[in-house]
Amino acid sequence: MAVDVQTEIVIQRPIDEVSAFAGDPSKACDWYVNIKSVRWETSPPLVLGSRVSYVASFLGKELAYTYEVVELEPGRRLVMRTDEGPMPMETTYEWFELPGDVLSTRMTLRNRGEAKGLQAFTAPLLSWSMRRANLLDLDCLKRRLEAAPSKN
């Protein structure tokens, strides 16, 4: 069963600041509540084919997985994919400058995966939990970036 969760938020910061911070895996622990550690498998900076390993806690379980960057349009779109774990997952970040407001950015965060085995029976719960976690993470990102002095 497919899981497809998309959330979004408007952050009162220019697109270059939001995308640079949110799109840097080294900063993931600063705004993802459930990510406990990040390790680069390839050398930074992030490029097509980069591999980054994460350890996260989700629904009371520790998960370890490695994402590979499969699409990268700096400042606009980042897509990472993993085939590891009970549910292969694709995560997409997109950033949009709001029309007429270069100081605000709309960010979308999308997680898509195909639940396997017993996970397939819990896909609705997984979707709900993922949406809730993503909203908390985006809110944390917003608060962190909006509290920091602007670079512009």
Q: Which two tokens stand for residue 2?
A: 């497919």
Question: What is the structure's pLDDT at 4?
Answer: 95
How far, in Å, CA of 80 to CA of 141, rounded?
Answer: 19
Convert the pLDDT of each residue in 65-103 to its tens digit: 999 999 999 999 999 999 886 678 999 999 999 988 889
Domain 2-147 has CATH 3.30.530.20: yes
- Report pLDDT digits (tens) over 16-32: 999 999 999 999 999 99
31 to 26, 27, 101, 120, 141: CA distances (angstroms): 11, 7, 24, 28, 5
